[in-house]
Each structure stands twice: as structure tokens, then as C-alpha cells.
Amino acid sequence: MGLLDSVLGAVAGQMGGQQNQAAAGGLGGILSMVANNPQMLQVITGMLGNDGQHGGLGGLMDKFQQAGMGDVLGSWVGSGENQAINGDQLSQVLGGDALGGIAEKLGMSHGDAAGQLSQILPSLIDQLTPHGQAPAGGLGNSGDLMGMLGGLLSK
């Protein structure tokens, strides 16, 4: 069984009952979206992994800064309340070509892909940076990140 299968198995296990979803805390919506579209997990690791097309969390932070929304992503990493982002804002940050590739991988429209990612990313980045700081070396490569996500989803 591969790592992706393990993570998806953890998602399926979490989706098994309301008690499990409650135990997942803020990850309930993420679990639901990933369970409905397993390619979402690959997109997320591609966005946040150091070996991904966006240059990992640091590269994503740079994109947010360039779009004038660095404080938004900073709130997800920080220990305070997460600022919301909508699909249109996320589209501005990522750019049309990158979002088009993501939408194609997910088999949905640009708007739907941006909307779902705008719901997932704040909570997920918050969970991946529990000490309120981005790790100096980023979140690791896609394989490392997949392991971290598996750990989060199995809680």
C-alpha cells in the first residue's frame, strides 16, 4: 500500500462517523473535500511541498506578498485567527495559468477549484504550522508533506 493510499485510508476512516469528524477539529471540511476528490491531496502537496511548482510554503508566501495579501497567509501561519480568502483573491495570487492546471487536475472549473482551495488552505496551513511560524526549511518535499498530512488526518 502506497503513502497516498495510507493517507486516503486515514481520510476514509475519519469520514466513518461524526465522532471521528469531531475529533478531526477544523479538518472536517478538508476531509470531506479530499474524500470527494482524492486528486485534491496531490494538488495540495504540489502547492505546499518544496519540490512543487509554487516553491513550497515559502514560494506561496512570496506570491501572497506580491499580490498584496501577505497578511492573509501570515494569519494562517500565525497563532491568531485565520483571515478568510475567497476564490477570486486566490486566483489573483496563483495566476490564471497555475489555477487552470489545478482545475484541470481536479476535473472542475477554475472558480470551483479556487473556491475549494480557498476553504482548505487557511485551516490546513494553520494545522501544518502549529507553533505559529513557518519552518525555516519549508514543509519538506511532497513525500514529507504527504506523511505530515497523513498524521494530521489520522488524529
- CATH code, 122: 1.10.10.690
Supply the pLDDT for residue 111. 94
Supply the pLDDT for residue 21. 35
Structural domain that includes position 16: 3-154
Supply the pLDDT for residue 66. 96
All residue ranges of the chain with pLDDT < 70 are: 1-36, 152-155
pTM of the model: 0.76
Residue of 16, 52, 56 lying closest to 32 (CA atoms): 16
Residue 59 grid coordinates: 514560494
Supply the pLDDT for residue 131. 84
Supply the pLDDT for residue 42. 85
The number of folded domains in the chain is 1
Supply the pLDDT for residue 24. 40
Helix extents (H) in the chain: 3-14, 18-23, 28-36, 39-48, 56-66, 70-77, 87-94, 96-106, 110-128, 142-154
State phi, psi for 101 to the nearest 5 degrees: -65, -40
Supply the pLDDT for residue 20. 36
Supply the pLDDT for residue 51. 85
